[in-house]
Structure 1
Amino acid sequence: MLPTKETYDCVVIGAGPAGCTAAALVARAGFSVLLVERESLPREHVGESLMPETWRTFERLGVLDKLRASRFPKKVGVQFVNHTGKESKPFFFRQHDDRDCAETWHVERATFDKMLYDHAEGEGVECLDGVRVLEVAMVGDRTTGVKLQAKGGATAVIGSSVVVDASGQSAMLAGRLGLKRVNPDLKKSAIWRHYRGAHRDESGGGVKTIILHTDQQKSWFWYIPQSDDIVSVGVVGDNDYLLKGRGKPAQIFEEEIAKCDGVVSRLVGAEPLDDLAVAKEFSYSTDRPSGDGWVLVGDAWGFIDPVYSSGVYFAMLSADMASDCIIDALRAKDPSAERLGAWAEEFSMGTKWVRKLVTAFYSGEFRVGKFAMDHPEHVPALTDLLIGRMFSPAVPRMFEDLDPWLERAIAESDRQSDTADDTMDGGGSVPAIA
C-alpha cells in the first residue's frame, strides 16, 4: 500500500518510539504527516525497560491511560549486583519522589510500539507499515521527499517539506551523509533472550531492572521482568570478547550465564524461549542533528548504551523536543538546519551526563553502593540520573566528586594489580616460586 497523497508537510521514516512521537505531535499541530515503517507491525525489538522520566512525553502524547490499563508491570527501581554477587540496596524511585511520575513500566516492545503507532494514527497521521524508503530525495543539501516501495514492488516519489529520520540504528540519512561515528571506547555486543518462569522480586510494589556483572567483569547482564511471567535476560560485552572466535551465540550466552551466579540463581527452573537475538557495535553519535529539510531523532541521532535503560527515553524525548522545532519551521515556512536542529544543544548537554555514567560503569571500578556510602549527599542526584532527570542541577555537582573518586578507585586497583604481579614475579616480601 502506498500513500494517498503526493505531498506532505512532514514524512517520518521509522515507526519506533521516536518516529511515532514526532509524527503524532506534528500532526496534532495541524500538519499533514506520513509515517513509514519498513517492517510489518507488530514487530519484536529490544529495549523493554523504560526510564521513569519518559512519563513526561507519555503525558504530552496522551497515552498514560493506555499504559495504566496495560498488562505491563510497573518498574519501581533499579538494583546492581557486582562481580562477587554482592547486591546493592535497591534504588526505589518512590523513596526519592513519591509522585506517580517517579515510576514507569517494563514493556514488551512489539505491543508498546504498536500502541504508539495506533495512537499516532488516531492523531491524524497517515501510517504505513511494510513500506520501504528506497532513498531520500535531495536537491543539493536540502531534502525534498522520499522514494517509497510497497510490498508488491510498486514505487512512488513523495514530496515533503521536512523529512524526519527516525530509522533507528540503521540511521538511514546519517549513513548516507557520512555523519555516523561509532564510539571506539564503547564497541559492544549484546546477546539476549526471554525466559518463562524465572525469579521475580516484586518488593516495593513492582519489579526492578537488575544489572549484574559476571565474575571476571568482562561482561554484564540485564534482567528485566515483564508481563505473563516472562523475563528478558541479555549479556553485553566488548565485541572482540563476546563474539569473536567463541562459537555460536547460543553457546556463548550459556557460557556467560555460567559466569554470573546472580543470573544462574534467578533462572533456576525457568524455560528459555526460542528467540535468541544478537546486536553489535551499537554505541555511536552523529556529527550534526539536522540539515535543510531534515532532522535526526532517536537512535538515528545516536545511541549510548543499554546499561541504564536510557534508549527509549532518549528516543522519545529527542522526538518530543524536535517536534517543537519542526512545528516552528513549518509554521515559518523555513525548514532550515538551524530551525530544525535548535533542540539538540540542550538535549546533548543532558545526555552527556548519562554518557559519563556509562563510562564510569565500564571503568570496572564504579561501585554504585560504595559511591553512595562514601557520598550519601549525592544519592539524590544519582537517583535523578537513573530516573532520567538529566537536567537536574545536582547532577553536574555529583560528577565533581564522582570523577576524582573514580580516579582514586582505578589507581588503587592498578596498585593492587602491580603488587600481585610483583609477587608472582618474585618482587615484594614473598619469594618467587620456581
Structure 2
Amino acid sequence: MSPKSDSYDCVVLGGGPAGCTAAGLVAKEGFSTLLVERERMPRHHVGESLMPETYWTFEKLGVLDKLTASRCAKKVGVQFVNSTGHESKPFFFRNHYDHASSETWHVERPEFDQMLFDNATELGAECHDQTRVLEVLFDGDDAATARATGVRLRTADGERTITSRVVIDATGQSSLIANRFALKEMNGHLRKAAIWRHYRGAKRDESGGGVKTLIMHTQDEKCWFWYIPQSNDIVSVGVVGDNDYLLKGRGAPNDVLNQEIANCPVLGGYLEGSEALDDLAVAKEFSYTTKQAAGAGWVLVGDAWGFIDPVYSSGVYFAMKSADMASECVVDALQSGDLSAERLGAWAPTFAEGTKWVRKLVNSFYSGNFRVGKFVQEYPHHAGPLTDLLVGKMFSPDMPALFADLDPWLEKMASAPRTGDEPIMALG
C-alpha cells in the first residue's frame, strides 16, 4: 500500500521506537503524519532490556496497559558479575523509588516495535512498512542552511515524491541526513562489536518479583556479556568487546561467542543444559554523536542523532526520550509556522547534557577501575545519583557533583591494587 497523499505536515523515517514515538505524538496533536519503514513489520532487532524511566513516554503514548497485559518479562533490577565470578548484591529499582515507574520490562523487539508501530496508527499517523527512502529532498546543500522539503520513496507501486513541512530522521545507524551532511562524530575509544543469540531453558532468577538484567565480565576483562531473561523461557545473551578483538582473525562469530562463554564461567553455569537458538547475529557498536540535531524543516532522533554503548540498556530509552522531546518542538514549530533549526532543535541541548552523564558512566565502566561498591562506601551521598543514572534519570542536578568526585577517584583507583574479591559494580 502506498501513501494516501503527496503532502504531509510531517514525514517520519524509520519504524523503530524513536520513529513510532515521534510519529504518534505529532499525529496525536492533529498534524498529518506519514511514518515509513523500509523493512517488513514485525522486524528483528536487538535491544530488549529497557530503562525504568521509559515509563513516562509509554504513559504519553498510552501503551502502559498494553505492556502490563503483555507476555513481556517484568524487569525489577540489575546485577553485575566481575571477572573473578563475584556476583554483586542484586539491585532492585523499587528500593530506590517506590513507584510503578521503577519497574519496567524485558521485551521481544519484533513484538515491541510492532506494538509501537500499531499504536502510532491508532494515534492518527499513516504508517507503511516495506517502503524505502531513496532520498531526503532539500533546498540547498549545506546542513546549516538547507531546508528539507520532503522525501522520495520506493513503494510497492513504484517511486513517489512526498512533500512535507518537517522530516524527522529516525533511521537508526543508517542516519540518512547525518551521513548526507557528514554530521557524525565518532568516539574512537568505543569502537565495539557485539555477537548475540537467544537460548531456551537457561537459568532464570525471579527473586524480587521479576527478572534482572545481568552484566558479566569475562575472566580476562576483554569483554562483557549481557544476560536478559525474556518470556517463554528465552534468554538473550550477547558479548561486547573491541571490534578488532571480536571480529578479526578469530574465526566464525559462533566460535568466537562460544570461546568467550568459556571465558566467563558464571555465564556457562547459567547456560548449562540450555538450547542455543539458530538466530546468531553480529553488529558493530561504534559510539558516535552528531554535530547538529536539527536544521530547517528536519530533525534527528534516536540512533540517527547518536549511538552509545549498550552496557546500561539505554538504547530504547534514548530513542524514545529523544523522540518525545523532539516531537514537542515539532508540534510547536508546526503550530507557529517557524520551522527553523533553532525551533525544531530546541530540545537537543538539554538532551545532550543528560546523555553526557550516561556516556561518562560508560567510559567509567570501560576504564576497568569502576569499583562502585568501594566508591559508594567512600562517598555514600552519591549512591542516589548513581542509581538515578542506572534507571535513566539523567537530568538530575546532582550529576556534576557526582562526576566531580568520581573522575579523580577513578584515576586514583587505576594505580590501586585489587583484592580480587571486589565486585566491579554494586550499589547494595
The alignment's TM-score, normalised by the length of structure 1, stands at 0.94
Q: Cα offset for 1:413?
A: 5.3
Instruction: Give yes or no for contact 2:76–2:94 (8 Å, CA) kept in 1.
Output: yes
Instruction: Give yes or no for contact 2:285–2:309 (8 Å, CA) kept in 1.
Output: no
What SS does the aligned partner of 1:328 have? Answer: helix
1:79 counterpart letter in structure 2:
Q
What SS does the aligned partner of 1:27 have? Answer: helix
Match for residue 426 of structure 2? none
Moved more, 112-121 or 360-369: 360-369
2:409 counterpart letter in structure 1:
W
CA distance in 2, matches of 1:377, 1:115: 40
Moved more, 46-55 or 364-373: 364-373
CA distance in 2, matches of 1:145, 1:348: 27
Where has structure 1 moved over 6 Å in runs of 4 or more?
none
Match for residue 142 of structure 1? 147
CA distance in 1, matches of 2:385, 2:91: 12
1:115 aligns with 2:144: no
Q: Cα offset for 1:264?
A: 0.5
- List runs of 5+ in structure 2 lacking aligned partners: 141-145, 419-428
CA distance in 1, matches of 2:4, 2:85: 57
Q: Cα offset for 1:282?
A: 2.7
What SS does the aligned partner of 1:189 have? Answer: strand
Q: Cα offset for 1:396?
A: 2.4
2:12 counterpart letter in structure 1:
V
Instruction: Give yes or no for contact 2:2–2:156 (8 Å, CA) kept in 1.
Output: no
Match for residue 323 of structure 1? 327
Larger radius of gyration: 1
The alignment's TM-score, normalised by the length of structure 2, stands at 0.95
Q: Cα offset for 1:399?
A: 1.4
Alignment of 1:30-429 (within 5 A): 30-140=30-140, 141-151=146-156, 154-412=158-416
* TM-aligned CA distance change 1:376 to 1:89, over 3 Å: farther
CA distance in 2, matches of 1:55, 1:49: 13
2:115 counterpart letter in structure 1:
M
Q: Percent identity?
A: 67
Instruction: Give yes or no for contact 1:169–1:282 (8 Å, CA) kept in 2.
Output: no
CA distance in 2, matches of 1:281, 1:78: 22
What SS does the aligned partner of 1:373 have? Answer: helix
CA distance in 2, matches of 1:401, 1:217: 25
1:346 counterpart letter in structure 2:
T
- List runs of 5+ in structure 1 lacking aligned partners: 415-434
Q: Cα offset for 1:240?
A: 1.1
* Deviation digits for residues 220-245 of structure 1 (CA, Å, limit 9, x no counterpart): 00000000000000000011111111
CA distance in 2, matches of 1:381, 1:53: 14
CA distance in 2, matches of 1:135, 1:121: 24
What SS does the aligned partner of 2:286 have? Answer: coil
What SS does the aligned partner of 2:36 have? Answer: strand
Q: Cα offset for 1:374?
A: 3.0
CA distance in 1, matches of 2:293, 2:266: 40
CA distance in 2, matches of 1:33, 1:73: 32
2:391 counterpart letter in structure 1:
I
CA distance in 2, matches of 1:48, 1:86: 25
> Number of paired residues?
414
CA RMSD of aligned residues (A): 1.2
